[in-house]
Chain A
Amino acid sequence: GQNIDQPTEMTATEGAIVQINCTYQTSGFNGLFWYQQHAGEAPTFLSYNVLDGLEEKGRFSSFLSRSKGYSYLLLKELQMKDSASYLCAVLNYGGSQGNLIFGKGTKLSVKP
């Protein structure tokens, strides 16, 4: 089976740091994505990790541990506009296959 788990909701304060965790169990693995989705809008790409370690991109960083089936998204210097859902997604296979399976998302509320 395939399972991607994230917390349903999180709350943080403007200017703070928040870490959103994602654990996965899938029949194959060819990379992990993080997407941001504001209410009523389409998901937008944030990051992609295929090797273990930390990828930093401005205020956002993403970490992957393939042996533990674990990733996190780190958001620094939180802004009100960061209030959104954050979706973890696993690319299941490489080569000619490769379906992209999403977790149910973590709704982040940033408070003043």
Chain B
Amino acid sequence: DARVTQTPRHKVTEMGQEVTMRCQPILGHNTVFWYRQTMMQGLELLAYFRNRAPLDDSGMPKDRFSAEMPDATLATLKIQPSEPRDSAVYFCASGLSPVDGRGGYTFGSGTRLTVV
């Protein structure tokens, strides 16, 4: 089965450090989403890309977060400097647009980030 690959699976870092999370979307998918999930807020949309172009990053704190897609096989989410309130699970999801109703968007396994 095709899958979305996220690295690292877990990351513990100290406050103020830079964190980079990576996502390899499913080959052929033209849309990539980044989400953050916490118990309180649920899944929050941070940014998304269509054909590698950023379409919306209004959910992302611009002063510390950045999202890029340097090529079709890699999307990155960077936090600099990290803060304890950034502790969450970060998911990447990929899919096709127009949407494929048979399979929807496929999520990666997530990166569990802990900032101490």
Question: Does any Cβ of B come within 8 Å of A25's Cβ?
Answer: no
Judge whether B107 and A43 touch: CB under 8 Å: yes
Question: Does any Cβ of B come within 8 Å of A3's Cβ?
Answer: no
Annotate B24-57 by CB proximity to A: 1 below 8 A, 0 otherwise.
Answer: 0000000101010000011101001010000110
User: What's the minimum C-beta distance from A90 to chain B, rounded to whole angstroms?
Assistant: 11
Judge whether B104 and A45 touch: CB under 8 Å: yes
Judge whether A99 and B48 touch: CB under 8 Å: yes
State the total of A-B contacts with C-beta under 8 angstroms. 61
Judge whether B48 and A42 touch: CB under 8 Å: no
Chain B contact patch, size range: 20 to 34
Interfacial chain A residues near B56, Cβ < 8 Å: 97, 99
Q: Interface with A: B11-19, B62-70, B73-81, B93-101, which one?
A: B93-101
Q: A31-B99, A31-B101, A94-B98 are in contact. Are A42 and B42 (CB under 8 A)?
A: no
Which chain A residue lies CB-closest to B98?
A94
Question: Does any Cβ of B come within 8 Å of A69's Cβ?
Answer: no
Interfacial chain A residues near B101, Cβ < 8 Å: 31, 48, 50
Interfacial chain A residues near B87, Cβ < 8 Å: none
Q: A30-B99, A31-B99, A91-B99 are in contact. Are A97 and B55 (CB under 8 A)?
A: yes
Judge whether A48 and B99 touch: CB under 8 Å: yes
Interfacial chain B residues near A89, Cβ < 8 Å: 43
Interfacial chain B residues near A43, Cβ < 8 Å: 43, 91, 93, 107
Interfacial chain B residues near A96, Cβ < 8 Å: 50, 55
Question: Does any Cβ of B come within 8 Å of A101's Cβ?
Answer: yes
Q: Which of A33, A94, A99, A104 contacts B45 (CB 8 A)?
A: A99
The winner among A33, A99, A102 for most chain B CB atoms within 10 A is: A99
Annotate A5-44 by CB proximity to B: 1 below 8 A, 0 otherwise.
Answer: 0000000000000000000000000110101000001111
User: What's the minimum C-beta distance from A62 to chain B, rounded to whole angstroms?
Assistant: 11
Q: Which of B45, B102, B103, B108 contacts A100 (CB 8 A)?
A: B45
Question: Does any Cβ of B come within 8 Å of A98's Cβ?
Answer: yes
